[in-house]
Amino acid sequence: MSLWTWLDRRVRRLGVIDTKLAQGAAMCIAIILVKLVPDILRLGIGWFIALAVLLGIHPVLKAFGPES
């Protein structure tokens, strides 16, 4: 069994609450990172928009695309 298959099986056990808790933890880590490296905030808004779009494409297509 590959690592990705194992991780996929583990993540499928999570519910909506668990997913939201993980998102909250990730946001806290991002805030800590910004506090430690304040130069991150000097990036233009375009970089953050592009990153959000790039990171969001796959989950949106997976959730709302055709089922395989």
Quick check: is 33 in a domain? yes
Quick check: is 8 in a domain? no
pLDDT in tens, 21-44: 999 999 999 999 999 999 988 999
Quick check: is 28 in a domain? yes
Note the pLDDT of residue 68: 66
Quick check: is 22 in a domain? yes
DSSP string, 30-56: HHHHHHH-GGGGGS-HHHHHHHHHHHH
For 46, the domain range is 16-64
pTM above 0.75, yes or no: no
Quick check: is 6 in a domain? no
Quick check: is 31 in a domain? yes
Quick check: is 7 in a domain? no
Residue 66 pLDDT greater than 90, yes or no: no
Number of domains in the chain: 1
Quick check: is 37 in a domain? yes
Note the pLDDT of residue 7: 86
